């Protein structure tokens, strides 16, 4: 009985040893995908969010308390500097005109001819982007009746770490979130000299002038901006899936030798 137990134990030890040898024996490297280097034009692109905003935004306010009698423009209308855009009555005129109306039509006409309406003019060339009041409303010098702009541009904020890629004169591609299939080009015309803290990150405001505005281009719209930071023509390239990355090291596996006896080498690369 003891001999049988000893033989069984020895067999179990041998079987275990054979299993471990085969389990941990280095297996032949199996490559399930291969590729070759191809030449491509590569670029490093920055994708930023921006918004449409007036270059100069001007609120049209009266210099006195009074009543709006007529507004001669609507949102979207183009106007010239010096053009009359609002007619108002001062508080005193409005009171006298209202009293005269209750007396007679003749008295009302007489007051209208004596006490003239006060015109409010546009102070720059541009167009109306907002109409906040209507005729008949009483307003003070602190209230804007209209808001006008001279031009609409795109503004964005660039992280200070990416600022080295942004230069005046570069031409980013853009599209409106509302119209993702309509791309348009712009030109960077100004980079602010003072940073702003946004979400605990130092950013700089960048102003982009559209070279050709889309038909639907309104203040406040969200814009996607693509900026080509760096580019390289005819660069050797492979798909990212063939690149291994451990820490700061990037490697690829290269097959050399002949078809019957391929040799696999790990080589460091720089992307």
Dihedral sign computed on CA atoms, order 142, 147, 150, 154:
positive
C-alpha triplet 141, 144, 145: angle, nearest 5°:
110
Render 64-128 in DSSP notation, one character per residue. S-EEEEEE---TT-EE-TT-EEEEEEEHHHHHHHHHHHHH-HHHHHHHHHHSPPEEEE-SSSEEE
Q: How far apart (Å, rounded) are the C-alpha atoms in residues 229 and 215?
A: 28
- Exposed/middle/buried for residue 10 (C-beta within 10 Å: 0-12, 13-18, 19+): exposed
Residue identified by tokens 């006195």 is 64
User: In DSSP terms, which residues pair with 127 in a beta bridge?
Assistant: 78, 149
Q: How far apart (Å, rounded) are the C-alpha atoms in residues 154 and 55?
A: 9
Predicted TM-score (pTM) of the model is 0.68
Domains and CATH numbers, the chain: 44-53+151-231 (2.40.30.170), 62-143 (2.40.50.100), 238-268 (no CATH)
Residue identified by tokens 């702003």 is 196
**pLDDT per residue as tens, the chain (271 positions):** 444 443 433 334 434 443 444 444 444 555 678 888 888 888 888 899 999 999 999 999 999 999 999 999 999 999 999 999 999 999 999 999 999 999 999 999 999 999 999 999 999 999 999 999 999 999 999 999 999 999 999 999 999 999 988 999 999 999 999 898 889 999 999 999 999 998 889 999 999 999 998 888 999 999 999 998 788 888 888 888 888 888 888 999 898 888 788 888 888 988 8
Give every CB contact of residue 61 below 8 A, 6+ residues apart in sequence: 139, 141, 142, 143, 144, 145
Q: How far apart (Å, rounded) are the C-alpha atoms in residues 188 and 186?
A: 7
Q: How far apart (Å, rounded) are the C-alpha atoms in residues 177 and 257?
A: 53
Q: In angstroms, what CA-CA distances link 20 with 15, 16, 26, 214?
A: 9, 6, 12, 70
**11, two tokens:** 């067999």
Q: Cβ(208)–Cβ(153) under 8 Å?
A: yes
């Amino acid at each position: 009985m003891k001999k049988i137990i000893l033989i069984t134990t020895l067999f179990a030890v041998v079987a275990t040893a054979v299993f471990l040898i085969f389990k941990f024996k280095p297996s032949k490297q199996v490559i399930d995908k291969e590729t070759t280097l191809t030449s491509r034009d590569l670029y490093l692109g920055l994708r930023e969010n921006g918004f449409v905003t007036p270059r100069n935004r001007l609120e049209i306010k009266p210099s006195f308390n009074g009543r709006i009698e007529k507004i001669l423009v609507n949102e979207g209308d183009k106007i010239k500097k010096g053009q009359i855009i609002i007619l108002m009555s001062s508080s005193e005129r409005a009171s006298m005109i209202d009293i005269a109306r209750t007396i007679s039509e003749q008295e009302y006409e007489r007051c209208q001819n004596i006490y003239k309406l006060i015109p409010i003019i546009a102070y720059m060339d541009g167009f109306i982007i907002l109409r906040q009041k209507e005729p008949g409303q009483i307003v003070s010098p602190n209230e804007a009746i209209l808001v006008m702009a001279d031009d609409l541009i795109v503004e964005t904020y660039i992280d200070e770490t990416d600022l080295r890629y942004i230069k005046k004169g570069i031409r980013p591609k853009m599209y409106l979130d509302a119209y993702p299939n309509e791309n348009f080009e712009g030109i960077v015309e100004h980079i602010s000299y003072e940073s702003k803290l946004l979400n605990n990150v130092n950013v700089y405001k960048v102003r982009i002038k559209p070279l050709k505005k889309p038909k639907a281009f309104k203040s406040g719209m969200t814009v996607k901006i693509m900026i080509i930071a760096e580019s390289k023509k005819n660069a050797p390239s492979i798909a990212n899936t063939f690149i291994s990355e451990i820490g700061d090291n990037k490697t690829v596996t290269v097959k050399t030798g002949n078809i019957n006896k391929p040799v696999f080498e790990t080589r460091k690369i720089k992307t």
